[in-house]
Amino acid sequence: MSSLKVEGGRPISGVVEVGGNKNAVLPMIAASILTDEDVVLRGVPDILDVESMLEIASSLGVSVEKSPGVVKLKADGPLRTTIPKALCGKVRASILFIGPLVAREGAATLWPPGGDVIGRRRLDAHFYGLSALGAVVDSFSYPFNLKASGIEGRDMFFDEASVTATENIMMAATLADGTTTIRNAAAEPHVQALALMLREMGAEVNGIGTNTLEIIGGRKLHGVDINVPGDHVEAASFLAMAAATGGGITIKGASQRDFWMTRRVFEKLGAPFEMDESGLHLPPGLNLKVEPDFGGAIPVVSDGPWPQFPSDMMSCSIVMATQANGSILFFEKMFEGRMYFVDRLIAMGANAVVCDPHRAIITGPSRLRGCEMSSPDIRAGMAMLIAALAADGESVIHNVDVIYRGYDSVVEKISALGACVERL
């Protein structure tokens, strides 16, 4: 089990380049099996979840070539249709292979997908969508076996705006006969990135960035050479880190269009940042102060489907709030396990009340003290790292491999920004 020793109390300041979007590159790897030609992805982050997805692709018969920041994939032969059980358990995105496999090979077998334990994460929309296209699910216990003699476009409505289900059905629909319409589709930046990649491969995908996607299928897709966009969650995590430690930071490689709601939340916490073509800019030495709602009411930060505030940013924002003057309520609507890490902040000296599995009230500023803790998931792990950097004294964070699943070269990046951190 990997650990980090962190010496807190140092402002995190400087310029940092974010890696490629974790949640975009994973479905982009799965999409490579929709064609028998070369797929080249550039700006690929060096993270454990990417390694797991490439292992799965290789196990299915995809040729994988890697160099720093670049992956070349080629699925030019018949593919195996069973995703190995051990590899399914490494990463939740393993489920993203079933749509392309059913569309191309007419079958797919999946064991329980892994990933962070942050609450119930339904798979219903995946099976609803694939069944609507013509796939048959022969069992609703593991392993799931899907078969299809052919798939046809359909008009469907998701009962939740599931990101991975939208991606899965969109990929499968590119090879289906006819037109598929997905209503109440997810529209997150990573969903848009996948849709744009499919367009570059020759698919016709309309409505990108909206909640209604139209995919006109039946075309033979070709290879592509494409850049993975910058990771907006990583960028926001570094902004929160700088704000919580009193530093100033410039973020390179992020797209301004991904941060409008994030900037509103940071404004509520007294940490406005500027956005322009050169990047995101947070000034140093901010006096973090909660902005009350009209009439002096306690403000609420709640997450939701895009373009609302991303659930992945709740944990880091909660840590930032411990350093702001005033009270604010965080309402995590999507996952009932996301708030469990707040107990670690309380142990560090945070003034926090966990109301229920979905809500916590943070009152600051609190003087955090270093402690020993263990990271439960990717985003909580980064939040604990921010708390350790803002705290007085030394902290030791265990199980940091989960942070490496989602953040590229995080130790090197924060060290370059002034952090005193050591791998144990």
Residues 6+ away with beta carbon under 8 Å from 356: none
SS (H, E, C) 31-52: HHHHCCCCEEEECCCCCHHHHH
- Closest to 198 in 3D by CA, of 165, 163, 223, 231: 223
Distance, CA of 20 to CA of 68 (rounded, Å): 12
Residues 6+ away with beta carbon under 8 Å from 343: 354
User: What are the strands of the beta sheet with 300-302, ordered from one edge?
Assistant: 300-302, 326-331, 359-364, 351-356
Q: Name the residue type at position 229.
A: P
In the DSSP assignment, the letter for residue 293 is P
Q: Is 155 a catalytic residue?
A: no
User: What are the strands of the beta sheet with 394-398, ordered from one edge?
Assistant: 372-374, 394-398, 3-7, 420-423
In order, the DSSP letters of 117-177 are -SS----HHHHHHHHHHT-EE--SSSSEEEE-S--B--EEE-SS--HHHHHHHHHHHTTSB
Residue 256 has a CB neighbour count (10 Å cut-off) of 15
Distance, CA of 392 to CA of 285 (rounded, Å): 18
Write down the residue that tokens 């070349």 correspond to: 72
Among the options 38, 46, 49, 116, which is catalytic? 116
In order, the DSSP letters of 374-409 are E--SHHHHHHHHHHHHHSBSEEEEE-THHHHTTSTT
Distance, CA of 323 to CA of 336 (rounded, Å): 24
Sign of torsion, CA 270 274 279 281? negative
Distance, CA of 31 to CA of 19 (rounded, Å): 20
Report which secondary-structure segment, H or E, holds 361: strand 359-364
For the annotated catalytic residues, the residue numbers are 116
